[in-house]
């Protein structure tokens, strides 16, 4: 585990960033000054990864954060991640909430559709049986929600090396084409 990381989940987000973003996109989209909300943040692995890119993070979780997260880049809110919404849109939503996959997929889709975040990386905790079906159901649910909002988005899912009984998703709003 990386020195100072509060949990092995830091590796999950680091891997997801490498898989879903090119090195140039990582430099551009995770530049100092970018803002993120990390839902289900405790113990803080994803927050830790984001602040090491210089991203300002609102870490939302009723549980405590561990490690070196007492930092000017981190605001910890002890509240329900399903109810929280930022006052202003953020660049990133990350979500590692332990909840049924369809509930997390709906939450992420709402955040994107309502303009609270332009892109998201999230984990879906999969059921023991019918995992592929659960991912397909979540993808359909998200696409339908984003279509109703008339957004063109990239939506990808991948089981990563550091994932266990889960799959990692990535969603990004595509720029509107000029006429």
pTM score, two decimals? 0.92
Mean model confidence pLDDT for the chain: 91
Confidence class of residue 5 from pLDDT cuts 50, 70 and 90? low
The whole-angstrom separation of Cα 24 and Cα 62 is: 35
More confident residue, 77 or 66: 77
Do strands 166-173 and 117-125 pair parallel, antiparallel, or not at all (unpaired)? antiparallel
Flag whether pLDDT at 86 surpasses 60: yes
CATH assignment, 9-173: 3.40.50.150
What percent of the chain is modeled with pLDDT above 90? 77
Residue 179 scores a pLDDT above 70: no
Residues labelled catalytic: 125
Distance CA 150, CA 138 (A): 18
Q: Answer with the residue of higher pLDDT: 87 or 10.
A: 87
pLDDT at 37: 98
Nearest to 101 by CA among 63, 62, 140, 64: 140
């Amino acid at each position: 585990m990386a020195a100072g990381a509060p949990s092995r989940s830091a590796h999950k987000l680091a891997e997801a960033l490498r898989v879903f973003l090119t090195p140039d996109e990582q430099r551009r989209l995770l530049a100092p000054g970018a803002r993120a909300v990390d839902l289900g943040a405790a113990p803080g692995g994803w927050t830790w990864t984001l602040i090491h890119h210089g991203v300002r993070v609102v870490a939302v979780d009723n549980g405590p954060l561990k490690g070196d997260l007492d930092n000017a880049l981190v605001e910890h809110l002890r509240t329900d991640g399903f109810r929280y919404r930022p006052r202003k849109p953020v660049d990133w939503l990350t979500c590692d909430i332990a909840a049924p996959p369809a509930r997390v997929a709906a939450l992420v889709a709402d955040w994107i559709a309502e303009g609270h975040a332009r892109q998201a990386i999230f984990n879906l905790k999969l059921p023991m049986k019918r995992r592929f079906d659960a991912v397909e159901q979540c993808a359909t649910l998200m696409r339908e929600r984003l279509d109703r909002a008339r957004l063109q988005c990239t939506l990808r899912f991948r089981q990563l090396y550091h994932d266990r009984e889960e799959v990692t998703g990535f969603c990004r709003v595509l720029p509107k084409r000029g006429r």
